[in-house]
A and B are shown apart, each in its own frame.
Chain A
Amino acid sequence: MSERTRVLRTDYLARVEGEGAMYVKLDGREVVDVRLRIYEPPRFFEALLRGRAFTEAPDITARICGICPVAYQMSAVRAMEDACGVRIDEGPLRDLRRLIYCGEWIESHSLHVYMLHAPDFLGFASAVEMAREHREIVEQGLQMKKAGNAVIALVGGREVHPINVRVGGFYRVPTRGELRSLVDPLHAARETALETVRWAATLPFPDVDRTQELVALSDPDGEYPVDRGTIRSDAGLDITPADFDAHIVEEQVEHSNALHARLRERGTYLTGPLARFALSSGALAPTAREAALEAGLDAVSNPFRSILVRAVELVQACEEALSIIDSYEEPDAPFVEVTPRNAVGYGATEAPRGLLYHRYEIAEDGAILDARIVPPTSQNQLAIEEDLRAVVEDGVDLPDEKLSLRCEQAIRNHDPCISCATHFLKLTVDRG
Chain B
Amino acid sequence: MADAGPVLVIGIGNPLRHDDAVGLEAVRRMRPLMRAAGPRWRGVAIETCEHEGEPLGLLESWEGAGAVVLVDAIHGESQAGTVRRFDASSTPVPADLAGSTSTHAVGVAEAIELARALGRLPRRIVVYGVAGARFDAGGGLSDEVLAALGPLTEAVLRDARMLASPPQGSAR
Measuring CB to CB, which residues of chain A are less than 8 angstroms from any residue of chain B?
A: 14-19, 44, 48, 63, 66-67, 111, 115-116, 126-128, 131-132, 135, 138-139, 142, 145-146, 149, 159-161, 418-419, 422-423
Per the bound structure, the CA–CA distance linking A422 and B137 in Å amounts to: 11
Per the bound structure, the CA–CA distance linking A160 and B54 in Å amounts to: 8
Measuring CB to CB, which residues of chain B are less than 8 angstroms from any residue of chain A?
A: 16, 52-54, 56-57, 59-60, 103-106, 110, 113-114, 117-118, 137
B137 CB contacts on chain A under 8 angstroms: 44, 48
Shortest C-beta distance, A287 to chain B (Å), equals: 27
Closest to B16 in A: A63
Contact A15 B117 (CB under 8 A): no
Contact A16 B52 (CB under 8 A): no
B16 CB contacts on chain A under 8 angstroms: 63
Shortest C-beta distance, A39 to chain B (Å), equals: 10
Contact A127 B114 (CB under 8 A): yes
Shortest C-beta distance, A267 to chain B (Å), equals: 29
Contact B118 A131 (CB under 8 A): yes
Which of A44, A132, A146 lies in contact with B60, CB distance below 8 A?
A146
- Name the 9 nearest CB pairs between A and B, nearest first: A160-B53, A131-B117, A66-B53, A128-B113, A419-B103, A18-B103, A132-B117, A17-B105, A160-B52
Closest to B117 in A: A131
Contact A423 B56 (CB under 8 A): no
Shortest C-beta distance, B105 to chain A (Å), equals: 5
Contact B110 A127 (CB under 8 A): yes
Which of B59, B103, B118 lies in contact with A17, CB distance below 8 A?
B103
Closest to A130 in B: B117
B56 CB contacts on chain A under 8 angstroms: 111, 115, 142, 145
21 CB contacts below 8 A, A to B, read A16-B105, A17-B104, A18-B103, A44-B137, A63-B16, A66-B52, A66-B53, A66-B104, A111-B105, A115-B56, A116-B105, A126-B110, A127-B106, A128-B113, A132-B117, A138-B117, A138-B118, A142-B56, A142-B118, A159-B53, A159-B57
Per the bound structure, the CA–CA distance linking A161 and B52 in Å amounts to: 9
Closest to B52 in A: A160
Closest to B136 in A: A422
Per the bound structure, the CA–CA distance linking A139 and B59 in Å amounts to: 11
Closest to B116 in A: A128
Which of B54, B57, B103 lies in contact with A422, CB distance below 8 A?
B103
Greatest chain B CB density within 10 A among A16, A111, A142, A146 is at A142
Greatest chain A CB density within 10 A among B16, B60, B106 is at B106
B103 CB contacts on chain A under 8 angstroms: 17-19, 418-419, 422-423
B110 CB contacts on chain A under 8 angstroms: 126-128
Closest to B113 in A: A128
Per the bound structure, the CA–CA distance linking A145 and B111 in Å amounts to: 14
Per the bound structure, the CA–CA distance linking A423 and B117 in Å amounts to: 28
Per the bound structure, the CA–CA distance linking A132 and B117 in Å amounts to: 5
A15 CB contacts on chain B under 8 angstroms: 105
Contacts A127-B110, A132-B117 given; 14 further ones with Cβ under 8 A?
A: A18-B104, A18-B105, A67-B54, A111-B54, A111-B56, A111-B106, A115-B106, A126-B110, A127-B106, A128-B117, A131-B114, A159-B57, A160-B53, A423-B103
Shortest C-beta distance, B2 to chain A (Å), equals: 23
Per the bound structure, the CA–CA distance linking A14 and B52 in Å amounts to: 21
Which of B54, B59, B114, B117 lies in contact with A66, CB distance below 8 A?
B54
A63 CB contacts on chain B under 8 angstroms: 16
Contact A138 B114 (CB under 8 A): yes
A146 CB contacts on chain B under 8 angstroms: 60
Closest to A418 in B: B103
B105 CB contacts on chain A under 8 angstroms: 14-18, 111, 115-116
A145 CB contacts on chain B under 8 angstroms: 56
A127 CB contacts on chain B under 8 angstroms: 106, 110, 114
